[in-house]
Amino acid sequence: MEEKIIITIIAGFFGLIPILIQWGSNRSKVKSKEHHLTKITSQLSILERMAEFSQKYGDSENKSFSGNLQQELNTLYLQYKSIQSVEDEKQEPSRELSVFRRALLLYKPSSFGAWVSHTLFYMFAWISLALLYSDISEGVEDLGIAIFLNVVIFGIPLLIFQRTASYLRKKTENASVD
């Protein structure tokens, strides 16, 4: 019995893997964006100082300097827009996902609630499979009853979590279209 509990706990932790991966990925993206924005901000402040200096102590080549300054500002603007476009990535529409991917929630969740639904779905699925494997390996006499109880106890919550995640995905898609 103690072995069964340990297997169940380990299986539950496997369900947490997707949320940990997403947390790490989001953290990395935020750090990268902050780094790029800091770099752009420092370059912009240097250009502002150069423009002030040029206006204060103008020279005969002021027009060429203004053209170079404008070109540099355009470059910084394009860098900023590229950071924004990466941030505004769209997820695949539900209708483009296969039935298999939708049923097993094999896509990136779009909101916190969807992440919770995905994580609970995978935790319950791993626990269910671990308990089923444990029953089979122990040679339970009434395997049919064990499978039925497993389906009833874990199948209903799995279905609820799957439907909740699908609902939240459609809700997010509809909000992004509006």
Confidence grade of residue 94 (pLDDT, cut at 50, 70, 90): low
Task: Average the pLDDT over 19-23 and give the result.
Answer: 71
CA nearest neighbour of 54 among 45, 43, 42, 66: 66
Number of domains observed in the structure of the chain: 1
Task: Average the pLDDT over 79-98 and give the result.
Answer: 68
Q: Which domain holds residue 66?
A: 2-177
Confidence grade of residue 91 (pLDDT, cut at 50, 70, 90): low
The pair of three-digit structure tokens given for residue 46, joined into one six-digit string: 């240097």
The pair of three-digit structure tokens given for residue 97, joined into one six-digit string: 């996902």
CA nearest neighbour of 115 among 12, 10, 22: 22
User: Where is pLDDT greater, at 54 or 135?
Assistant: 135
One DSSP character per residue, 19-69 reads: HHHHHHHHHHHHHHHHHHHHHHHHHHHHHHHHHHHHHHT--TTHHHHHHHH
What global pTM score does this model have? 0.55
